Amino acid sequence: MDRRTLLQSVAAMTALGAAPLIVRSDEGKPDAVTRIIKPRRLEKGMTVGLVAPSSPPKESEGVRYGIDVLRSLGFKVKEGQHLFARNHYLAGDDQQRADDVNRMFTDPAVDAIFCLRGGYGTPRILPYIDYDAIRQNPKVITGFSDITGLINAIHARTGLVTFHGPVAQQGFSDYTLAEYKKVMVNPSAPVPIAGPPVVERREGQVERENRITRFVGGKASGPLVGGNLSLLVTLMGTPYEPDFRGRILFLEDVDEAPYRVDRMLTHLWLTGKLQEVAGVVLGKFTKVDYDSNTFNLEEVFEQRFSAMGIPVVRGLMIGHVSDRASVPLGVRAELDGDAGTLTLLEAAVV
């Protein structure tokens, strides 16, 4: 099929109301088409596979804690074969960690996959992931921070909706549990996500930590893409690079000084990727290292985003915080820059 015929077919399917499509290069084949795949919703009694694609916890008890967290959600837990492996700052060697992910997707007894924690390591395993097997065995996979590398690569190469959401080792606050349930367990649409927790206002007291900053107003809609900023930058120029075109980009990070955030955003701008997005959601940038001679993060964001002419909002509950949203990659959402809200326009699971 030549390019013109392919694009005509895509347009025809879109007009007929078919599922959204991604048009991108896949394994050297020009313009391969991958249909968006939604995984099965989560239910109590399911078997969840637990894997550690990044770093190990400080002690093995951290693994056992993560297992107990998943059991508290009503799941049976199947442990990855190398879940307790330790290789300095990696949870086993690259092939072991990739093999655990691959096995969980191909195991018919496993219904969904949770990552134990982030840290570092997912970019190293991306060449060893079996994307064809994942496409044929779609399941929920969730995690954040370094897991950004894995969930974006899987979505880009297979079309599977993946989740920037909870990891097992950190437990679930009331907010995190409620957000997880409305996205992965009992989905509805349209539904707002990632808004600040509701707090009781009293005379002389208002919310201080979880405030919304509206850099640019207006509305935009499109599929969601994003996660940890440093991991997204790592994927640029690789076969696992996300598609930014017409998407709502969400970003978060931790332990990054303003100049490093500036450098990474500038890299995305120089590559032309920022100019492709329809809107930007800035989540939580925590543990910021300020020195005596620096722009603050607000100034960095203003410099990079204020002139883009698209909605840009800062402060939604995405990132390294105890109250954490679950954000599905590939699902259509609307960003309202005036209201400071992000709303899913469709369910992320079936």
Query: Cα(345)–Cα(191) distance, rounded to whole angstroms?
Result: 7
> DSSP string covering 14-31, please?
HHTTPPPEEEEEETTEEE
For residue 43, the tally of other CB atoms under 10 A from its CB is 12
Query: Cα(317)–Cα(306) distance, rounded to whole angstroms?
Result: 21
Whether residue 173 lies in the annotated active site: no
> DSSP string covering 30-76, please?
EEEEEE-BPPPPP-TT-EEEEE-SSPPPSSTHHHHHHHHHHHHTT-E
**One of 145, 179, 241, 326 is an active-site residue; which one?**
145
**CA-based angle 238:242:243, to the nearest 5?**
120
Whether residue 252 lies in the annotated active site: yes
Whether residue 155 lies in the annotated active site: no
Grouping H, G, I as helix, E, B as strand and the rest as coil, residue 2 is coil
Which among 283, 286, 290 has a CA at the least distance from the CA of 258? Answer: 290
**One of 55, 320, 326, 334 is an active-site residue; which one?**
320
Pairing of strands 219-228, 332-336: antiparallel
**One of 241, 252, 256, 346 is an active-site residue; which one?**
252
Amino acid at 164: H
Which residues belong to the active site?
145, 252, 320
